[in-house]
Amino acid sequence: MSISLDKTFGLPARALELRAKRTELLASNIANADTPHYKARDFDFPNALHRAGADAATVRTTNTRHIKPAGMEVGYSTIQYRVPANPSLDGNTVELDRERARFSQNTLEYQAALQFLGARIRSLLGAVKGE
């Protein structure tokens, strides 16, 4: 009897991948906080995760020549521009305090996802060893 790694780690692994992509976007926003006309970008994580779970069995690309479904720039979500609460005079839409808060929360959730996957791996290892 074999264990399907896709079924075992599927959605948590995709959540970790989406968290990493979101970290990159938020870090880019923070790095460009002083760049004139820079537009802050992000994606809806809960929606992306839901779509990742729903589309996991239907959307597969096993070759680099396969056509990717439209509108999936970040895994299973479209990157969107953020509308600022307090727009700046130079056209930059990054609100540094809010971006830092989002970055911190995303980092904590990334670490939680890592711990969840680590616990699942330890559980499987315990089952294999008969513990």
Q: Which of 90, 99, 83, 78 is nearest to 18 (CA)?
A: 78
80-95 pLDDT, tens digit each: 998 899 888 999 999 9
Predicted local confidence at residue 66, as pLDDT? 67
Which residues make Cβ contacts (< 8 Å) with residue 40, sequence separation at least 6? 29, 81, 82, 84, 93, 94, 95, 99
Predicted local confidence at residue 57, as pLDDT? 47
32-90 pLDDT, tens digit each: 999 999 999 999 888 888 887 765 545 566 777 766 655 445 555 688 998 899 888 99
SS3 state of residue 66? coil
The tokens describing 21, both together, are: 């992509």
Q: How many residues does the chain have?
A: 131
pLDDT higher at 18 or 1:
18
Average pLDDT, the chain: 83
Beta bridge partners of 80: 42
Predicted local confidence at residue 27, as pLDDT? 97
